[in-house]
Structure 1
Amino acid sequence: MTSLITLSTAKAQTMTKDWDKTFPQSDRVDHEKISFTNRYGITLTGDLYLPKDRSGALPAIAVAGPFGAVKEQSSGLYAQTMAERGFATLAFDPSFTGESGGEPRNVASPDINTEDFMAAVDYLGLHEAVDRERIGIIGICGWGGMALSAAAIDKRIKAVATSTMYDMTRVMSRGYNDSVTLEQRTEMLENLGRQRWEDAANGAPAYGPPSLELQGGEPQFVVEYHDYYRTPRGYHERAVNSGNAWTKTTPLPFMNLPILTYIAEISPRPVLLIHGENAHSRYFSETAYEAAAEPKELLIVPGANHTDLYDKVDVIPFDRIESFFGDVLV
């Protein structure tokens, strides 16, 4: 495991110039690797996509997710596709992951990762190709919750869409379908506290086992994750979910910080929640929809599971995403 973490750290310190995405490069879009700094002083790395056929200041969209992914995967696909449709887009690696900075590696924070979205808005609002009054965001999977959190705080964000959204604070603190009991939660917190002592004694965090190594008998949604992250379909060496690992104490800040508390305050700016009909995670978007204020839309994609909305361009409703942002930003 030590060598795995060393590799992740080294790769975060340099930006590759090669096209190493899990999707083909579009000849209709200009691509540039960029960096920017968030409010905590962490340097983030992103891919900026601009339509080749452009004039004047453009509407813009920042994109991140899924949880444990990198910008070379689903978020980059969304960003490039929306750039083909006339938007300036930025897909970025959240703090502590991928090519972005932050130590230790492969740790997450509902606070810092919400800030990452707002830092992306900072960058886009200062770019000469962008109209800063027309900026939206897209969050995929676990970064869908972060996107909703950012939009509630940051009034510069004019519209927010999520795809196959997870509320990571809810799932980590309560388990799937809110099934964790108080006794189980207490035990988890006791274990996390003891792990902190071990990490402090060792002077470095411990990491969990490599992600998504199937042993047999896993739930179907775990098999679907494996089919994306651990096969040529979506594998990327820098992604946490592609055989790397989170720190063991990553769940700690998610245990008592519900990020969707103020979701109704996104209004009057619009919210679009997209989810697959057959996704195990569908209830996250349904609950968020109930809590959000108008204008809001819950779009259920017939027959789709959770990971179908990561990369299946014939399933992802890009026409609706384009019209949603077009109505507000264009």
Structure 2
Amino acid sequence: MTDTTTRTAQAKPVGRRALLKLTGAGAAALTAGSLFNISNAEARTMETQTMTTEWDKTFPKSPNVDHQKIRFKNRYGITLAGDLYLPKNHADKRLAALAVGGPFGAVKEQSSGLYAQTMAERGFAALAFDASYTGESGGEPRNIASPDINTEDFSAAVDFLGLHPSVDRERIGIIGICGWGGMALNAAAVDKRVKAVVASTMYDMTRVMSKGYNDSVTLEQRTQMLEQLSRQRWADAADGKSAYQSRYNELKGDEAQFLVDYHDYYMTPRGYHARAVNSGNAWTRTTPLSFMNMPLLTYIKEISPRPVLLIHGEKAHSRYFSETAFAAAGEPKELMIIPGASHVDLYDRTDVIPLDKLHSFFEQHLR
């Protein structure tokens, strides 16, 4: 049973110490001195990463789906890597298609791949892809993000799907998970080829990086962080390479529960993947810069009249992101609250993810 009404949620405040711990869902705002007290992480520097031929997903391969590893380029010339899932025995039928991205700092072998394969089992062509500069996709320096480039990554996936012989290009939707929920909404607003959009357990990465959790960062703290990030550019330019943040999701004790939840997904056999930024790797120190003054949801109303479905856990620390997006979006829209679910539950718990709802939503709106 799900609650599809929207209510104002007063999220439990996150302490300053927890706020400063960077998580796999995104960097909270950093206060003075923190950027220069973190270590470098190793970074791969190949423009185009080698694509493995092995099944190295965090979920089992479905016998009801055909799988193919593919490459395509975005508008900036970066080569992206993806996994294309097609239902078996679809013959010459043109299929409705879905592009699936996220979470922020994850790879296609994790949550997005699970969503994509599951939707292919239900009759859709589905493409899970690695964001620019991450996973098996190209771009350097490694492990850097941008709200603009990552929004473009979604549109590039739509480019690929619209040219595929098994896809009906007039029936393409997108799914964004966690931090890629905000990217998906931004992509749908600007890319009119997208006919329907779902954001699951959504983060607005521009909001959390510029304002911190629950918008708790003061102007003074924001100014301090921008001062540090600006000066880090000089350090990187002098070194001729990017410096990296501390490794993600390594617990030291006394973390907030949502940080423990991230660790339990990204750092255990449940969801660990060596290529994921969140699985003990790191973003560049200057990654937050491009998120600081580019609000992703500025034009969310322009998705209308195409439908928006927001899915979030009742107990998720991030629930307020979906509630804000729901309030701002135009019609038709729906906010689906999953009783008892946490943020990370919607990454991979197929008994919690409302798969029937995803199916019916896209079946209705990609006709």
TM-score (normalised: structure 1)? 0.98
Percent same amino acid among aligned pairs?
Answer: 75
Residue 204 (structure 1) aligned with residue 241 (structure 2): yes
Deviations 1:262-289 (A, max 9, x none): 0000000000000000000000000000
> Which runs of 4 or more aligned residues in structure 1 lie more than 4 Å from their structure 2 counterparts after TM superposition?
none
Partner of 2:129: 92
CA distance in 1, matches of 2:67, 2:47: 20
1:183 corresponds, among 211, 214, 220, to 220
Partner of 1:195: 232
Give the Å deviation of 1:10.
Answer: 5.2
**SS of the counterpart of 2:42?**
helix
Deviations 1:156-187 (A, max 9, x none): 00000010000000000000000000000000
Partner of 1:258: 295
CA distance in 2, matches of 1:22, 1:57: 29
Letter of the 1:17 partner, please give it.
T
Give the Å deviation of 1:53.
Answer: 2.9
Residue 14 (structure 1) aligned with residue 60 (structure 2): no
Contact 2:41 2:247 in 1 (8 A): no
Contact 1:208 1:247 in 2 (8 A): yes
Give the Å deviation of 1:4.
Answer: 2.4
Residue 33 (structure 1) aligned with residue 69 (structure 2): yes
Higher relative contact order structure (alpha carbons within 8 Å, sequence separation ≥ 6): 2
Deviations 1:71-121 (A, max 9, x none): 000000000000000000000000000000001000000000000000000
Residue 137 (structure 1) aligned with residue 170 (structure 2): no
Contact 2:46 2:140 in 1 (8 A): no
Contact 1:11 1:98 in 2 (8 A): no
Letter of the 1:200 partner, please give it.
A
2:205 corresponds, among 165, 168, 176, to 168
Give the Å deviation of 1:13.
Answer: 1.8
**SS of the counterpart of 2:202?**
coil
**SS of the counterpart of 1:251?**
helix
Partner of 2:42: 4
Q: Which runs of 5 or more residues in structure 1 are unaligned?
A: none
CA distance in 2, matches of 1:25, 1:78: 12
CA distance in 1, matches of 2:207, 2:248: 21
The aligned length equals 328
TM-score (normalised: structure 2)? 0.88
Residue 60 (structure 1) aligned with residue 102 (structure 2): no
Cα 1:79–1:147, aligned 2, differ >3 Å: closer, same or farther? same
CA distance in 2, matches of 1:3, 1:238: 13
Partner of 1:306: 343
